[in-house]
Amino acid sequence: MKYTTLPNTDIRVSRICLGTMTWGRQNTESEGQAQMDYAFNQGVNFFDTAELYPVPAHKDRYAETEKIIGNWFRKSGRRQDIVLASKIAGPAPFTEFIRTEGFKPSAILEAVEGSLRRLRTDYMDLYQLHWPERSTNYFGQRGFIPDARETWKDNIHEVLRTLQTLVQEGKIRQVGLSNETPWGVMRFLEEARAHPGLPRMITIQNPYSLLNRLFEVGLSEISHRSQIGLLAYSPLGFGTLSGKYLGGQKPEKARVTLFPNYNRYSNSKAIEATEAYAEIAAMHGLSLAQMALAFVNSRPFLTSNIIGATTLDQLKENIGSADIELSPEVLSKIEEVHRTIPNPAP
């Protein structure tokens, strides 16, 4: 396993991060525990979760994933060996059963205390805002469209002050963003720079894969110049880049089979691109999944690649991507496809 550090910290994390959003819905608790056991034994020391998980979100399953992780900590005694990241859910119609206050101080404090309790820990190493409060483009919306009905007022300073209190209390160590735009990242950095003592965002958890390289357009320069590390999620595009949906296949228990509305990586251009990437992988004796993950692993702005799996065999293949170095020829072929079919998934 390869390791790096969270930007501007001494927190050492594996290049592969274990994603957890299926535990409690697609995966049972015992399956989630088996994944944590295997990942840890392979050198993965970075786990990412959220109060929202498992997804799709439902009030009857709210925060089950954090409980599964907390039970593993209690059983294994490995809390001190794991870099643990979680997130507060943002406002949305599908989170109204959680709370409706957005990122008001009381909401952040409530969310943190709830996560700590479920995770059976006194602190989280990284705490992230799962998506912005304001109306902007995320979760498959490619472009920004102003919303005349928006009521959000800039509360970035207040959010950072609340997070500062939690850092001072030792309940969180570092803070990060998720599903964020260049404007949002720079606004948070600007506020922290203007007010010494406020916590500085050090990571951004956004989608990044062969089918969605939009991070490169504006955020990669911010990542490079401002030292904001990418935690790449959906590196296989909801499993599309494993090739399991090619030819119209609908594997039993697969995410898109179970939840057809999770189709942002399934449009005709995304399928066309996936077929082209599959040809490259086959030509060079690689599995499509490992080639796709190895590409993400190779990016200079990457801090960690968040992989998820519903079976141990998938998990083994995904973690194994950490040992694969793509040749210049493979990378060149990938760029040819990208130039022809750039970012087919939003």
CATH number reported for the structural domain that contains residue 128 in this entry: 3.20.20.100
Q: How far apart are CA 55 and CA 63, in angstroms?
A: 10
Is the confidence at residue 66, as pLDDT, over 90? Answer: yes
Q: How far apart are CA 2 and CA 252, in angstroms?
A: 33
Calculate ∠ Cα 155-156-159, nearest 5°: 90
- pLDDT of 180: 98
Q: How far is CA 231 from CA 4, 97, 128, 271, in A?
A: 12, 27, 11, 25
- pLDDT of 175: 98
Tens of pLDDT, residues 176-222: 999 999 999 999 999 999 999 999 999 999 999 999 999 999 999 99
Mean pLDDT of 112-121: 98
* Averaged pLDDT score across all residues of the chain: 97
Q: Considering only 53-62, 228-237, 246-255, 323-332, which range has the smallest mean pLDDT?
A: 246-255
Q: Which two tokens stand for residue 104?
A: 């008001």
Residue 49: domain span: 3-241+300-325
Residue 280 lies in a domain: no
Tens of pLDDT, residues 134-172: 999 999 999 999 999 999 999 999 999 999 999 999 999
Residue 333 lies in a domain: no
pLDDT band at residue 61 under the 50/70/90 scheme: very high
- pLDDT of 285: 97
- pLDDT of 276: 98
Number of domains, the chain = 1
Mean pLDDT of 82-101: 96
The structure tokens 């504006």 sit at 218
- pLDDT of 263: 87
State phi, psi for 201 to the nearest 5 degrees. -65, 130
The structure tokens 């920004």 sit at 144
**Contact in structure between 188 and 224 (CB atoms under 8 Å):** no
- pLDDT of 252: 85
Tens of pLDDT, residues 216-275: 999 999 999 999 999 999 999 999 999 999 998 888 878 888 998 888 999 999 999 999
pLDDT band at residue 87 under the 50/70/90 scheme: very high
Mean pLDDT of 9-37: 98
Does the annotation mark 53 as catalytic? yes
**Contact in structure between 174 and 125 (CB atoms under 8 Å):** yes
Of residues 201, 177, 161, the one with CA closest to residue 90: 177
Mean pLDDT of 61-78: 98
> How far is residue 1 CA from its own chain's centroid?
19
Residue 274 lies in a domain: no
Residue 28 lies in a domain: yes
Residue 308 lies in a domain: yes
Catalytic residue among 38, 53, 233, 245: 53
Mean pLDDT of 114-142: 97
Residue 107 lies in a domain: yes
DSSP 295-308: HHHT-TTEEEEEE-
- pLDDT of 248: 86
Residue 176 lies in a domain: yes
pTM exceeds 0.95 for this model? yes
